[in-house]
Each structure stands twice: as structure tokens, then as C-alpha cells.
Chains A and B, each alone.
Chain A
């Protein structure tokens, strides 16, 4: 399941994804860091086109299930005004063995960054620099 949340997502844990046949759980946390491309970042503002984002996000999770034969996949993305250290995206993948779960988790975060209509604006520590909408680059950070 793919979800968008305006509220904190800090409480997300993998336990809810577990099933008796699962031997591996891989989770990913994307957090707001304090710098980007040489600039000191003060906070981020995320915006979403919710209907399409949920649709595209769900498609990515279904593709991951088919491609990597995993058992379960979940992704939640925060929107709104986030501070440094806040959790922006949480992904949990379960599978029988670890290899599929690692691969699927990376596939999901890469695909989310590429295809889900979510945007982020950087606010800088130096207030003389105008806040800017940033775009994901081809190479994955």
C-alpha cells in the first residue's frame, strides 16, 4: 500500500508487514538533511498531487512485487513543512530471503523519486538566498 501523510510518520515500524513466511525485512528511511549542493538547508516543503501520487505509488509497489517476488511492500510519504532530521519517506519490504527485499526496496525508492508527483522546495539557512523547487537528479543519492 502507498500512502501520503500530512502528519508525522515516525511511528512506522515493519512489524505490521510481517507474515509467517517472511524471513527478511528491509526498511528505508528518507530523512531531511541539512545541506544540498553546497547550500545549508534550513527546512523542506513537500507538495503532492495526491490522486495521481497514490495511483502511481501503488503501481510501483505492485511492479516491485511482480519483479522481485517479494511478499509485502509498503511506502508512506510525508508532505507539508519538514524540519532537518524529519522522516520524509518510509519504505518496508518483506520477502522470504534478503536479496529480493534489498533489491525491491531500492527499486521502490528510485521509482518513487522518478515517477510520483511529489515536489520539494528547499528553504536555506542564508535567508538572502531565495527558496527553490529542486528536482531529482538522474544519479540516485
Chain B
């Protein structure tokens, strides 16, 4: 399955890219983050993140569909 992943802030710096298309067998954000954490050595634990699918906050265990867009959201700091 193909999933579009966008990276922001600390995750963008650690992945050294802003986005990519992943071709993977994992079907939920939790498994995908665990895979990416190993791949890019992400410093943030899953418990520190939120996740957005197709520009909406979602649960880490939601079932993804082909070409969904996925964003792992580090702790925010607006203001």
C-alpha cells in the first residue's frame, strides 16, 4: 500500500525530508511510526505525538487506505 507521509519540525529534520511516498505493508499509523522511528532514528516516542490522516486528527490505530496522507505531529508550540 502507498501512503503519503509529511514531516514537520523535529521529525522533518531527523528524516531529512519534508515528505515521501511510502510503499509498505503496515496499515495503521502506529505500526508506520514504529517502522519510521527505527528507519530515521526519531527521538520522539509515539506517546509524545498526535497523528493526522488526510488533514484531520485521528487515532493511531485507524485503518489507512491507499494514498492516504499521514502526518505525525510533534508537541506543538504556537504563540
Partner-B contacts on A (CB < 8 A): 30, 46-49, 51-52, 55-56, 77, 88-89, 109, 112-121, 133-136
* A133:B52 contact, CB within 8 angstroms: no
List B contacts of A52 (CB < 8 A): 52, 55-57, 71, 73
- Given A49-B52, A52-B71, A55-B55, are A120 and B77 also a contact pair (CB < 8 Å)? yes
The interface size of chain B toward A, counting residues with CB under 8 Å, comes to: 17
Does B24 belong to the interface (CB within 8 Å)?
no
Task: Pick from B55, B73, B77, B78 the residue with the most CB of A within 10 Å.
Answer: B78
Name which residue of chain A comes closest to B9, CB basis: A119
- Given A52-B71, A55-B55, are A116 and B76 also a contact pair (CB < 8 Å)? yes
* B71:A49 contact, CB within 8 angstroms: yes
**In whole Å, how far is B53's beta carbon from the nearest beta carbon of chain A?**
10
List B contacts of A47 (CB < 8 A): 8-9, 12
List B contacts of A119 (CB < 8 A): 8-10, 74, 76-78
- Given A49-B73, A55-B55, are A121 and B9 also a contact pair (CB < 8 Å)? yes
Q: Contact string, B16-31, partner A, CB cutoff 8 A, digits 1/0?
A: 0000000000000000
User: Contact check: which of B12, B76, B79 meets A117 at CB < 8 Å?
Assistant: B76
* A77:B78 contact, CB within 8 angstroms: yes
